[in-house]
Copies of this chain bind each other. A is one copy, B any other.
């Protein structure tokens, strides 16, 4: 592999000049041509490792997801990678498996690898362990979850409004007893979705009860179990509001087992549209998260922070969800 020295020798200038040329600084016209020629004929390429060693810039962005095993990350990562590569960055990806210890370890690895920025789908919702590890060595962008008291910029879906409007839609169709099938509430995303639900009830002067919110975790097993509990409840619910697609899977299984028909026996609304949900017998009314946008915006934010370190404005980018009204809510007025 030819080095910058070879290029300098071949083109009769110093390495500094070649370096300047490569990095877009002004160089004497005839030198420019000579260097260009030398680079081409030697087929010289900048050794990224050497450059990184010197500059501590790797053009690599570290990403921590909670799991790969989810449609959500699939879409987000797809767009993120595309956007990053278009801008000359690579993506180095880890899965925390929803484990704080893993997250910690991964952050350490990434710092040690000198990633230029870190994009995290945080596991740790409450007090951020992220800050205590990363300090200010590297810009951090949070995605999907907001961490309390954190100063990092954050890209999230507009959960409150989406939740509000889809619940409002149910209310307008006469539903007053809506059970929420939810994951753990300490996640900001969950909380916001529940908040939207509560606000809609408030605004329509309907009573809400904490026991209407069935809390599990974001797995299909949990969705299955919670549905059993909803159905066994003394209160008769006319509708279910499911807060994620994984939960929905379990809900669908449970309903199928009990031969409960949507929307005749029970109305149903879920979060997380994907093509897969259309396998259900009825087209389910569903909130489509802006997954692709989340990916792109997080990537943009990361690059922006790399370019412009001082602008550490802890701003929140909210991406709008789309409510897809379909056939799973019965008008019971």
Chain A interface residues toward B at CB < 8 A: 45-50, 52-53, 56, 58, 60, 67-71, 73-75, 77-78, 81-82, 85, 90-95, 97, 106, 109, 112-114, 220, 249, 252-253, 256, 275-281
Contacts and interface: CB of A to CB of B under 8 A. Distances in A.
Q: What copy number does this chain have within its complex?
A: 2
B81 A93 contact: yes
A277 B277 CA distance: 10
Contacts of A281: 256, 281
Given A67-B78, A93-B91, A95-B78, A58 B49 contact: yes
28 contacts: A48-B114, A49-B52, A49-B58, A53-B53, A68-B74, A68-B75, A68-B78, A69-B78, A70-B74, A71-B71, A73-B74, A74-B74, A77-B93, A81-B93, A81-B94, A81-B95, A85-B94, A90-B113, A91-B93, A92-B93, A249-B276, A249-B279, A252-B279, A253-B278, A256-B281, A277-B279, A279-B279, A281-B281
A53 B50 contact: yes
Nearest to A46: B112
Nearest to A108: B45
A122 B82 CA distance: 18
Contact of A53 (B49, B71, B112, B275): B49
Nearest to A245: B276
A48 B95 contact: no
A72 B253 CA distance: 22
A114 B50 CA distance: 11
Given A69-B74, A78-B67, A56 B60 contact: no
Given A60-B113, A81-B94, 14 more contacts: A45-B112, A47-B112, A48-B113, A49-B49, A52-B53, A53-B53, A67-B78, A70-B74, A71-B71, A77-B93, A91-B94, A92-B92, A93-B93, A249-B276
